[in-house]
């Protein structure tokens, strides 16, 4: 008559499987988390840049506005929104013609990947206000 195997023998084959599963899944989980955080940082920097460009264009397009006022308004908006903590190295340029005011905001998004800072560039234009006779 044969002896039955002890119940512990089936458990021995599973020993260490949780460690191997974690070893495989943890890097993938961290990669997904970092991609999500990076996407959020880029999106936020982009939103700040477009809002600053719109604010600058609105100011420059005013009836008594000018390029300097538009640049100042956009720069102040970026600074108030977090400055280099949101949009690193922000640069603002403005131009105004007889019909259109254009403001461009350029900077770099923060990054969770060392050495990689994506460039953010947003442009806004507005028609220049002018008084007309009724």
Q: Do 47 and 124 touch, CB atoms closer than 8 A?
A: no
**Which pLDDT value is given to residue 134?**
80
Q: Pseudo-torsion of CA 33, 35, 41, 43, nearest 10°?
A: -120
**Which pLDDT value is given to residue 39?**
93
Task: Say how far apart CA 42 and CA 55 lie, in whole Å.
Answer: 20
- What is the model's pTM? 0.79
Domain locations along the chain: 18-127
**Bridge partners of residue 100, in order along the sequence:** 127
Task: Say how far apart CA 77 and CA 54 lie, in whole Å.
Answer: 10
**Which pLDDT value is given to residue 61?**
94
pLDDT tens-digit profile, the chain (134 residues): 677 665 555 555 667 677 888 888 999 999 899 999 999 999 999 999 999 999 999 999 998 999 999 999 999 999 999 988 999 999 999 999 999 999 999 999 998 888 888 999 999 999 999 888 88
């Amino acid at each position: 008559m044969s002896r039955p195997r002890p119940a512990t023998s089936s458990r021995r084959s599973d020993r260490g499987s949780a460690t191997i599963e974690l070893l495989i899944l943890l890097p993938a989980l961290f990669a997904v988390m970092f991609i999500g955080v990076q996407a959020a940082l880029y999106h936020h920097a982009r939103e700040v840049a477009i809002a600053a460009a719109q604010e600058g264009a609105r100011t420059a397009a005013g009836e008594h506005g000018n390029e300097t006022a538009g640049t100042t308004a956009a720069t102040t908006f970026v600074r108030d929104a977090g400055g280099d903590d949101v949009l690193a190295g922000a640069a603002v340029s403005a131009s105004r013609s007889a019909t259109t005011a254009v403001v461009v905001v350029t900077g770099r998004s923060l990054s969770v990947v060392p050495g990689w800072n994506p460039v953010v560039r947003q442009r806004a234009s507005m028609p220049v206000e002018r008084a007309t006779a009724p």
